[in-house]
Structure 1
Amino acid sequence: MYQSLLVPVDGSAHSAKALGVAAQLARGASTRLILLAVAEFPPGNMGLFTGGTPEPFTEEDREKLAAAMRQDAEQALKRVRDRVDLEGLDVEALIRQGPPAHCIVDEARKFGVDAIVMGSRGLSDIRGMLVGSVSHKVSHVADCTVITVA
């Protein structure tokens, strides 16, 4: 049915459940699974972000934080992969850095996937209630089918 599925993961139980659903869809169908973990960019002014003075971080400090965020994304990807049996499936894993919804939609377009399978909620439920969830944003702008898993 599906030739390729993009599965954004953030290490949450919801993303692991979405990967499980994607694995079920892929079994016996020669479907390629593309796992994507997104590390956001550090904000431009960490002083304000942390409630401190409005003094900007140095570029070196921002790069250290960006590297730590990429490492967190890699660990989130590993946590989710360890929860789901992917034996015998064609799986590719990617780490990208940027705004999550934007990166997900860009990678879906780049790979020409048939569908995105993602959790309805991730690690930041409170933030999602305030500014909209990543899955909500993706479902409104993606060119392909978006399957949200609760």
Structure 2
Amino acid sequence: MKILLPVDGSELSLEAVRYAIRLTSEGLQASFVIANVQEPTTLYEMVVAHDPDVLQQVSGAAGVHLLAGAEELLNQADLEHESEVAAGDPAHTLVDIIERFGCDAVIMGARGMGPLSAALVGSVSLGVLRASPVPVTIVKPRPAPEAEEDESAESSV
């Protein structure tokens, strides 16, 4: 099984990678594609930089940097993986990566920072969930420690 792990450098995206690693430690046989999608270049960036090649190099370097944490986790777990840095609309580009690499599933974090329609799930996560031809597992943020304490105090009352 080949699983896509989209990463954006956030702790939540790395938590999704850790979740995937836990699945393999419980017996799942899988290889992984870790991917980062850079937003398209803006008109302002093109006017300021004057050189599209420079912009592409900077964007690619940023993507590689954001993959480093996930690569380190997968290397420590001795798990086979490929890496991809792409540019474009994140949700659509991730669906393209799913198809291009022949992925069987996606495990990703949900940032929950999109518009109101995506209040519980991030807008990129929601876009991938809607358009993906394969199953998508969304790893939600862990509750804050004080929220856990409040829940345990309420349940003991």
Q: Could you tell me the TM-score, scaled by structure 2's length?
A: 0.74
Separation in structure 2 between the aligned mates of residue 61 and residue 130 of structure 1, nearest angstrom: 37
Pair 1:59–1:75, CA change in 2 (3 A) = closer
CA distance in 2, matches of 1:130, 1:58: 33
| Equivalent position to 1:141, from 131, 139, 149 | 131
- TM-superposed deviation, 1:87: 2.3
1:94 CA displacement: 1.4
Q: Deviations over 1:98-118 (max 9, x none)?
A: 211111101111222221101
Alignment of 1:67-106 (within 5 A): 67-82=57-72, 86-106=76-96
**Number of aligned positions between the proteins:** 135
Measured in 1, the distance between the counterparts of 2:49 and 2:61 equals: 18
Which has the larger share of helix? 2
Question: Which structure would you say has the larger Rg?
Answer: 2
From 6, 9, 12, the counterpart of 1:11: 9
Alpha-carbon shift at residue 58 of structure 1 (Å): 6.9
Distance in 1 (CA, whole Å) between partners of 2:66 and 2:115 is: 22
In the alignment, is residue 22 of structure 1 matched against residue 16 of structure 2?
no
Aligned equivalents of 2:37, 2:51: Cα separation in 1: 20
Output one character per residue of 1:104-147: Cα deviation in whole Å (capped at 9) or x when no partner. 1011112222211011118xx3xx23785100111001010011
Work out the CA distance in 2 between the residues paired with 1:131 and 1:64.
36
Distance 1:83 1:31 in 2: 15
Q: Is 1:35 the counterpart of 2:34 in the alignment?
A: yes
Question: Is the CA contact 1:26–1:32 (under 8 Å) kept in the aligned structure 2?
Answer: no
SS at match of 2:3: strand
- Check the 8 A contact 1:4/1:34 in 2, yes or no: yes
Secondary structure at 1:57 match in 2: helix
The higher relative CO (CA closer than 8 Å, separation ≥ 6) is in 1
Consecutive unaligned residues in structure 2, runs of 5 or more: 141-157
Instruction: Identify unmatched segments of 5+ residues in structure 1.
Output: 48-55
